[in-house]
Amino acid sequence: MARNAFEEALREEFSEANFVVEDDDVLEQCASMCVVYALKASDLVSSWEVFYLNRQLNDGKVSTAILPKFKAFLQEEQREALRSKSIDGLHSFSKIDDVDMLLNDEPELQETPPALRSASKCHSSPLGIRNVKLEAEFAVLACPKTPKTPAGPFGKSSSEGPRRKTEDSPLTPFARRLSKCTVQSIFNAELDEPSEEKVVPDTEDDVLRRLRPVERCHTEILSPFPKVGCRFMHDRLEDRFLSIEKRIKKFADALAVSERCKVTCNGAVATQEQIMVVGRICCDGEGHLNDKSVLLEGSVEFCGGQRVRLDLRNIPQLSLFPGQVVGVEGKNPSGHCLVASRIIDAIPCLASPEASEHQEPASKRRVLSQGEDVEMVSGIQQPITMLMAAGPYTANDNLFYEPLSDLLAHARRKRPRVLLLVGPFVDCDHPMIRDGLVDRTYEQIFQDEVKTRIEEYCQEVGDGAGVLIVPSTRDSHHDSVFPQPPYKRRGFDDPDKQITLLGNPSIFRCEDVTLGCTSMDILRHLSSEEMSRVPAGATSDRMTRLASHVIAQRSFYPLFPPPQGTCLDLSLTPEAVSVNQIPDILILPSDLAPFVKVLALPSYPQLASGAEELEAGESLPRNEQLTKCLCINPGRLTKGSSGGTFTELLVLPDTSSYEGCTAPPPVSSRSKVTIKRI
């Protein structure tokens, strides 16, 4: 069809639809759109009618001023059409190469450089209009792609090796980032590092330090977690009820011993006397907690789960969230409202896990080196050096995994004894994975991009360096349930047993330091649900307050009900979520800003074997003994298309036994934490 004939056809179609064309320039632009988007004149006018009605236009004129918005409307329409295009009964997502092939009617033989591709479009364009840059027109149709790998026998990309960023690939926003490896903050900066660590990078001393073998850090898992391959999301309403009921009863028993008073679980009984009631916080409605919507739900065993409204006017400082188990001291004169005078939200925990009578000190423990049992020669403990990071491990505009490569390169230079990697590794929220723009399975991506890099790091650093891996519920290739089983051991090439696969959450011990870690973003969840009150003129650290709830409630996830999309299974190894002792270091990766805080929590070691240890008339000192816990949020290794943060941890050995001190210093006072940008 000739150019003028095409324009006349458009004029007739617009006229039949009762639209007036402003001038010939409008017809020329509409004809260009028809060619670019492969539309007939009637199809374009039909799209204009839909656009006209959606925009609620009323002048009936096709003008030059409105054409740019109509063009954007056509692009959106084309994208939806290509995404829903069905091939052999299966839905597939088209990429920019597929669009080029459809418009050019040319088979896709190989990756064409952008310059040659644009030139070929100019020569093959009919009516002289195909000089329009199609990549710009269809840039919204697909996210940036990873480099292609050689095709397999069935047309699929080969998974023989990781798809790394090649030298011919353009620089990504992550590669062009500024402030690489800069220090954001240092906790306990006054602590001196070991003398062997004080070397200038890229010098002869640094090379010699790297050649020295790394002394393995003895790691012991203390908490249970679900087994690999377990069945999940089969919990019943009864399982959820029993889990909450158990928390209330445990809190009541601990509170009765620590407060030396009678504790009841029924606050709906009218009384003029001061009572101590234990229950969980609920919200009277679908919104967030406020002063008028706080309810206290008692135990089902003692009061049938009755709820009573809480009057908090006499409480100057508080921090409440749904699912929190608290003790409330107050009066209920009417039976309908409990007027609180004091709220107790912390359960006394054990200060540290009980050590075995026959357990050897860390300096005498045996380690596995090169397949043989070798006893440590030194009688003095070595400092613990740990590098920790939390996913995502790749930028959201590609799957090059450049942040992970840079992190492992930094670990090769620093040579920490422990490398802690917390998921997600194959993030389900990544745009390319969420939109289905990948040509590999999720397991292949994890194998090619993550496993291979970790195995290469272990082989290069030596069998003394250990790697701890914690999964995430955001991992596309793993079971999305909390608590979460560890990754499958098969597939890891780990002859020296350097890689330890942990569950989510986990409590483990490195030498004599106890650590707790979970990849669930409980801090962000609590932040959106918490109701707090601070007296006038007083200050309160919000991050410290949120992190303290994890240990005060003896649970890695005390929030209930959880936010939408959280796969919480309370019947699947409920002991895995419990925090039965205060760890020395608590690691809580979060989308919130990275931080290092010291939590001071009450602990009563004499409660370890029950209340029978108390003599007649003896009372427990209230909050007299405080145990300090170091809480670390390393942040995310990747923030969008740029770099995030990671954390270096140095724990100096406990020298109190050598210096004759009676009370050992807390781990928080002999730990140096550095938060750096990747």
Q: Over the stretch 422-465, which tens digit does the pLDDT of each residue have?
A: 999 999 999 999 999 999 999 999 999 999 999 999 999 988 88
- Among 8-17, 83-92, 151-160, 426-435, whose mean pLDDT is lowest? 151-160
Burial of 638 (0-12, 13-18, 19+ CB in 10 A): buried
pLDDT at site 552: 92
Looking at the DSSP bridge assignments, the partners of residue 586 are 516, 631
592 confidence band (pLDDT: 50, 70, 90): very high
In total, the chain counts a number of residues equal to: 678
pLDDT in tens, 38-90: 888 888 888 888 888 777 777 778 888 888 888 888 888 877 777 655 444 44
pLDDT for residue 660 is more than 60: no
Looking at the DSSP bridge assignments, the partners of residue 328 are 277, 343
| DSSP 3-state of 338 | strand
Task: Read off the tokens for 597.
Answer: 């805080």
Task: Read off the tokens for 574.
Answer: 């409920």
- Among 99-103, 233-237, 429-433, 665-669, whose mean pLDDT is lowest? 99-103
Q: What's the average model confidence in pLDDT over 130-136?
A: 36
CA–CA separation, 264 and 275 (whole Å): 8
pLDDT at site 144: 42
pLDDT at site 235: 80
CA–CA separation, 599 and 124 (whole Å): 68
Burial of 575 (0-12, 13-18, 19+ CB in 10 A): exposed
CA–CA separation, 512 and 584 (whole Å): 9
pLDDT in tens, 471-493: 999 999 999 999 999 999 887 88
Domain at 183-234+350-370+381-529+544-604+623-677, CATH class: alpha beta
pLDDT at site 663: 66
Task: Read off the tokens for 430.
Answer: 């990544």
pLDDT for residue 160 is more than 60: no
pLDDT for residue 417 is more than 80: yes
- What are the start-end ranges of the E strands in 456-574? 466-470, 499-501, 506-510, 513-517, 531-533
| DSSP 3-state of 565 | coil
- Tokens 């004894």 found at: 417
- Tokens 């074997």 found at: 609
Q: What's the average model confidence in pLDDT over 607-617?
A: 38
| DSSP 3-state of 82 | helix
CA–CA separation, 305 and 249 (whole Å): 13
Backbone angles phi, psi at 533, to 5 degrees: -145, 130
DSSP for 495-511, written as a single string: TT--EEE--BSEEEEET
pLDDT at site 318: 92
- Tokens 């290469």 found at: 456
2 confidence band (pLDDT: 50, 70, 90): low
DSSP for 384-437, written as a single string: EEEEEEES--S-TT----HHHHHHHHHHHHH--SEEEEES-SSBTTSHHHHTT-
Is 222:353 a contact under the CB 8 Å cutoff?
yes
Task: Read off the tokens for 586.
Answer: 């608590």
| The architecture CATH gives domain 261-344 | Beta Barrel (2.40)
CA–CA separation, 125 and 106 (whole Å): 12
Nearest to 631 by CA among 555, 545, 566: 545
Q: What is the 3-state secondary structure (H, E, C) of 183-209?
A: EEEEECCCCCCCHHHCCCCCCHHHHHH
Q: What's the average model confidence in pLDDT over 551-562?
A: 92
Task: Read off the tokens for 276.
Answer: 């101590």
Residues 6+ apart with CB under 8 A from 549: 319, 321, 324, 345, 526, 558
Q: Where are the domains of the chain?
A: 1-142, 183-234+350-370+381-529+544-604+623-677, 261-344
Task: Read off the tokens for 408.
Answer: 């492992």
Residue type present at position 160 = E
228 confidence band (pLDDT: 50, 70, 90): confident
657 confidence band (pLDDT: 50, 70, 90): low
Q: What's the average model confidence in pLDDT over 199-217?
A: 67
pLDDT for residue 130 is more than 70: no
Task: Read off the tokens for 131.
Answer: 């000089």
In the predicted model, what is the mean pLDDT of the chain? 78
- Among 60-74, 160-174, 227-241, 465-479, whose mean pLDDT is lowest? 160-174
CA–CA separation, 219 and 643 (whole Å): 30
Neighbouring CB atoms inside 10 A of 615's CB total 6
pLDDT in tens, 383-412: 999 999 999 999 998 999 999 999 999 999
Residue with the larger pLDDT of the pair 339 and 203: 339
DSSP assigned state of 264:
B
pLDDT for residue 124 is more than 70: no
Neighbouring CB atoms inside 10 A of 113's CB total 9
| DSSP 3-state of 366 | strand
Task: Read off the tokens for 605.
Answer: 């070691």
pLDDT at site 204: 60
Residue type present at position 456 = E
- Nearest 5°: CA angle at 142, between 141 and 144? 145
pLDDT for residue 198 is more than 90: no
pLDDT for residue 155 is more than 50: no
pLDDT at site 644: 94
Highest mean pLDDT among 106-120, 208-222, 250-264: 250-264
368 confidence band (pLDDT: 50, 70, 90): very low
pLDDT at site 138: 38
Backbone angles phi, psi at 647, to 5 degrees: -135, 140
Q: How far is CA 89 from CA 84, 85, 86, 98, 109, in A?
A: 11, 10, 6, 18, 25
Q: What's the average model confidence in pLDDT over 19-24?
A: 85
pLDDT at site 203: 64
199 confidence band (pLDDT: 50, 70, 90): low
Crossing angle for the helix pair 24-36 and 41-55, to the nearest 10 degrees = 110
Is 244:560 a contact under the CB 8 Å cutoff?
yes
pLDDT at site 21: 87
Our CA dihedral for 200, 203, 209, 211, rounded to 10 degrees, sits at 160
Is 415:209 a contact under the CB 8 Å cutoff?
yes
Q: What's the average model confidence in pLDDT over 658-663?
A: 59
